Amino acid sequence: MTSPPSTLSDVSAPHPGERVRSGRVLACACLGYGVIVVDITIVNLAIPAMQLSLHAGLAAMQLVVNAYVIVLAALVLAGAAAGDRWGAVTMFRTGVTVFGLASVLCGAAPNVELLIGARVLQGLGAILLMPATLVMLTRAYPEPDRRAKAIAVWAMVAGSPVVFGPLLGGALVDLVGWRAIFLINIPLVIATLLLARRQMPPQRHGTAAPQDFPGQILAAAMLGGVAVALTYGHELGWQRALPLCAAGIAVAATGGFVWRQRTATHPLLPPALLRAPGFVAYAVVGLLLFAGYYGLVFAISVFLQQVRDYGPFVSGLCFLPSAVPITVMPLVAGRVNARLGAPVVLRLAIAATATGALLLVLVGQLVPFGLAAGLFAIGVGFGLATVPQVTLLMAAAPAEWASTASGILTVGRQTGTILGITVFGGLRTGDSIRLPALGALAGYGLMAVAAAVGGVQLARRARADRTAPDPAGALS
């Protein structure tokens, strides 16, 4: 049996005599996490401009987007373990520095190959920075009430780039050029590093379980192979060598990964966690939720600019109907969860996303009003779903694996982003967005099935152990 790693949610108070400014820590965490998230959304609006400037195809542009999120999805668990070993603050500062240097390289890239490489480097910075932000907050706010408020602020700020990313990206591309979407990170990185120079939480070096490095390599090969195969299979045709080789690598890496997880003393994915009732089902919910939204963002961005001839900034404005509720609705979901329970809120959220996808199928080509109606409903559903999905997934996870469960949550969401962009990017929009919208509708249907399976499994566990209280209050 594998032993659980040291937890990322160590909430012990700082050592006496160390002065920690919690407000400074919160500002660092929000700035750092915000700049990571904005880079997922800001690039979409610059795709046509980058294509023209770098003489690249749409498949290469998908890799510019995917190279970043592939690294996030494949290596975020390794980044979490690095924080346990060398300290969250050290990893935070290192991640911010690497991300800033990579942003300079992205802005100066003379061709698409170097741009993709710099995006990989950005992802490496992000995997060090991302898990460290929540660790620093839990240590800077040892009192539960203040910590809850700080994390709520962090979560809202982390979601706000979904609103501002497309707008900021569109404005920068129109007024300055596509390179500015990367160079804008530099002042934010400098401000974050200045704030993080002092008065940070004390370092705590854990005794984490040995890392499953072969598992990490196989996971990266598996995920990267899937993304490349899907991207170039649609672009070049499935009979070409590149997508066939990538698919073969993905299949071989998947087999190797499964074998490694069954035989390793300290596997990347603990079997006890994967067997926990409801855990895998709610992880799939998160994957499909992100695949549907970010896949539509990619497909609609291309449709608006290449079919309707909208400029980047106007295209960014078209996403406001979904972006605003995605930012605001988590606060509403947190309140409604306490009254209705997480399963009910999740069902309502899935119904809203499916309604939005159906509206896009029927009237989505009527820009801006039909498109706005569909995106608004999807945004409401997406914003409502985030809180209950996290609540239910963490409720399903054994307490000793809470840190690993949190990492898998992030992996699932980033994997969904990759699959959404690659699959939806291959759906030709023609003169409407009906085909990508049908794909999203099918995905939301599968999401409803996964949520139902997870609910049944959690209910069975609750009936089998009546004396154990529900850790998230989700089954009340």
**Residue pLDDT, tens place only, 75-113:** 777 776 676 667 778 888 999 999 999 999 999 999 999
- 287 pLDDT band, cuts 50/70/90, is very high
**SS3 category, 455:** helix
Residue spans per domain, the chain = 20-197, 213-264, 268-476
Q: Which residue shows structure tokens 């995006």? A: 119
Q: Copy the structure tokens of residue 19.
A: 């002065």
Handedness of CA 460, 466, 468, 474 (dihedral sign): positive
Q: Which pLDDT score is estimated for 235? A: 66
Instruction: Show Cβ contacts of residue 144 under 8 Å, excluding neighbours closer than 6 positions.
Output: none
pLDDT tens per residue, range 379-424 = 999 988 887 887 788 778 776 666 667 667 777 887 787 788 778 8
The reply to whether domains 20-197 and 268-476 share a CATH topology is: yes
Distance CA 28, CA 47 (A): 30
Instruction: Tell me if 374 sits within 8 A of 356, measured CB to CB.
Output: yes
> What is the predicted pLDDT for the residue at 284?
94
Q: Is the dihedral of CA 385, 388, 392, 394 positive or negative?
A: positive
Q: Where are the alpha helices (DSSP H) in 206-319?
A: 213-236, 241-263, 271-274, 279-302, 312-318
The rounded distance, in Å, linking the Cα atoms of 100 and 44 is 20
Q: Who wins on pLDDT, 115 or 160?
A: 115
Average pLDDT (433-448) is: 92
**Do 423 and 291 meet the contact criterion of CB atoms below 8 Å apart?**
yes
Model confidence at 316: pLDDT above 90: no
Rounded to 5 degrees, φ, ψ at 252 are -65, -40
CA 45-46-50 angle, 5° bins? 155
Residue with the bigger pLDDT between 81 and 476: it is 81
> 3-class SS at 35?
helix
How far is it, in rounded angstroms, from Cα 476 to Cα 465?
14
Contacts of 49 (CB under 8 A, 6+ apart): 173, 177, 178, 312
Task: Spell out the CATH class of 20-197.
Answer: mainly alpha
Q: Which of 256-270, 289-303, 394-408 has the lowest mean pLDDT?
A: 394-408
Identify the residue with better confidence: 277 or 144. 277
Domain made up of 268-476: CATH architecture:
Up-down Bundle (1.20)
Rounded CA-CA distance 203/206 in Å is 10
Q: What is the DSSP letter of 211?
A: P
Of 52-61, 201-210, 244-253, 349-358, give the lowest mean pLDDT range. 201-210
d(CA 236, CA 421): 17
The answer, as to whether pTM is greater than 0.75, is no
Give the pLDDT of residue 225. 82
Per-chain mean pLDDT for the chain: 80
Tokens of 221: 């090969």
